Amino acid sequence: MSDQNSLILLVDDEPLNLKILEENLNDEGYKTVSVTNGLKAWHLLEDSHHKFDAVLLDRMMPEMDGMSVLKRMKSHEEMHNLPVIMQTAKAAKHEVLEGLNAGVHYYLTKPYGRDQLLAIVNSVVSNYRYQRKLVEETLKKTGSLALMEQGRFSVKSLQEAYDLTAMLASATENTDKVGLGLSELLVNAVEHGNLGIGYNEKSEFNLKGIWEEEIERRLNLAENINKRVTIEYERSVHEIKITIKDQGQGFDWQKYMEISADRAFDSHGRGIAIANMLSFDSIEYQGNGNQVIVTVLLDSETETTQTAINKGLI
């Protein structure tokens, strides 16, 4: 079930489609607001974008189509991170790639089933609400690593990964972007690396709504009790390097470094690509993929402060 406070904006020029969406999402516990064209959606978002947790956006509409709404959202400073799920009957690869390049990370191809709809919406809303919580927690911890040049940490569970993400991200200037990328990599290390949850398995767990339950079950298995993800933090005048290593068998990381049109309709599988595109100045997987090193460059003001700290001036 959804968080009872989650609000979804539905945008579609077909009343029947809106009714079906409303019924399915309301039954799941979501609150919804519906509009029948892109122009109305844009005016509503301008006034109330902070109230929404996701937008289900039809691509083909009168007055203003879905791509036009999307481009306005992505160029707006306060709503460019609001997740968009594009509904479309156009599933040609070049059309999907156009949407992906414009910032659509999730797709629903009409007609779609209730389970597919809920799997994607649940995943999108959960991730977005976590991101907002992460930013809040990171702001509380700002400066907590300002005096640390090196550190070693380990995490076992998702909650530990989330807590460490907030602390590490607080050491950077772009806390929200870095936090997003770190959380994706740490969660990946826990679920795929240490617990061995494969891509198709996660798709099934999301569809059934049991992903977190499966994580907890596997954490308590005898073979996983002592498994931990290790994280090494190193700060210099010019950059921060973070190394993440899990105890898994590794994976074919190359194909996940970019968002693929082949995975655009899945409920997951974008985290590494988003981290690569948005979060870090560099990201380097090593060996079989069970170790990754990310780099965040420090701006001139941060460098000046760190130099003063290193010299004992502050």
Same domain, yes or no: 79 and 186: no
Which DSSP state fits 263? G
Note the pLDDT of residue 310: 45
Same domain, yes or no: 112 and 155: no
Structure tokens at 173: 């200037």
Residue 284, SS3? strand
Domain span at residue 262? 143-310
Judge if pTM exceeds 0.95.
no
β-sheet with 7-11: strand ranges across: 31-35, 7-11, 54-58, 84-88, 106-109
Cβ neighbours for 150, distance < 8 A, ≥ 6 positions apart:
232, 233, 234, 235
Cβ neighbours for 170, distance < 8 A, ≥ 6 positions apart:
138, 139, 141, 142, 143, 144, 145
> Looking at the domain assignment, is residue 194 inside a domain?
yes
CA angle 73, 31, 1 (to 5 degrees): 110
N- to C-terminal Cα distance for the chain? 50
Same domain, yes or no: 295 and 167: yes
Same domain, yes or no: 174 and 298: yes
Q: Which of 267, 162, 147 is nearest to 205 (CA)?
A: 267
What phi and psi, each to the nearest 5 degrees, are found at residue 252? -80, 80
How many folded domains does the chain comprise?
A: 2
As a dihedral over the C-alpha atoms of residue 156, residue 160, residue 166, residue 168, rounded to 10 degrees, the angle is: -40
Residue 23, SS3? helix
CA distance 85 to 122: 11
DSSP sequence for 54-88: EEEEESS-SSS-HHHHHHHHHTSTTTTTS-EEEEE
CA distance 168 to 5: 29
> Looking at the domain assignment, is residue 134 inside a domain?
no
Q: What is the largest CA-CA distance in the chain?
A: 67
> Looking at the domain assignment, is residue 138 inside a domain?
no
Same domain, yes or no: 168 and 286: yes
Q: Which of 313, 311, 300, 306 is nearest to 147 (CA)?
A: 306
Same domain, yes or no: 250 and 148: yes
CATH at residue 171 = 3.30.565.10
Tens-binned pLDDT, residue by residue, of the chain (314 aa): 556 679 999 999 999 999 999 999 999 999 999 999 999 999 999 999 999 999 999 888 888 888 899 999 988 888 888 999 988 776 666 777 777 777 787 888 877 888 889 989 998 898 888 878 877 776 666 566 667 899 999 999 999 998 899 889 888 888 888 988 999 999 999 999 999 999 999 999 988 889 999 999 999 999 999 999 999 999 998 999 999 999 999 999 999 998 777 777 788 888 898 889 889 999 999 989 999 999 999 875 444 444 434 434 34
CA distance 97 to 101: 6
